[in-house]
Amino acid sequence: MSLYQEWKKTITGHTTQEEQMEFWDVFCKQEQGIYQSILDKSQKNIQGKVSELAKEYNMSEVYFLGFLDGINDSILTPMDVESLDGDSTIDIEIDFEKLYYNMHAVPAEWLYTLPEWDNILSEEKRKEIAKQQKRDKTIVKEQKIGRNDPCPCGSGKKYKKCCGK
């Protein structure tokens, strides 16, 4: 079984809601530790074997793959996480602005409120990114044309007798 398949099985393999909550608590704390380390060092690049990096960050290989799966949308060149195993070598470059944006999109408050962000992005830039993310997720519903309304094509006919046929 590949690491990715193990990761997916780990995510979905809980029989009770309590087990699932406990899993996410443990994983999110470990994930937070990785981000604190990366942000504290302003480390844009992560290189090495998956197994060695997992040890460096005190995680299992499966959990580290979960971290890679999560950060994959925030790196300059996305990787094929499904093909990774313990011996795979990775070389990723993190786009911090995109990462901050994606943390707001999830929303992962335990990550985007880390004090280590102060070293990476100014407070104004973080506010701007958060505002942009909120704007991007806002859904604007267009006004629906009623069948008895005038046709928007300008013919003067009712919609049902014109373009609504």
SS3 156: coil
Q: What is the pLDDT of residues 119-159, one digit of tens each?
A: 999 999 999 999 999 888 877 677 888 889 888 888 889 98
Q: Is the peptide bond before 115 cis (omega within 30 degrees of 0)?
A: no
Q: What is the pLDDT of residues 99-110, one digit of tens each?
A: 999 999 988 999
Q: What is the pLDDT of residues 57-84, one digit of tens each?
A: 999 999 999 999 999 999 999 999 999 9
Copy the structure tokens of residue 91.
């070389």
Using left for φ > 0, alpha for ψ between -120 and 50, and beta otherwise, residue 38 falls in alpha
Q: What is the pTM of this model?
A: 0.79
The mean predicted confidence, pLDDT, of the chain is: 91
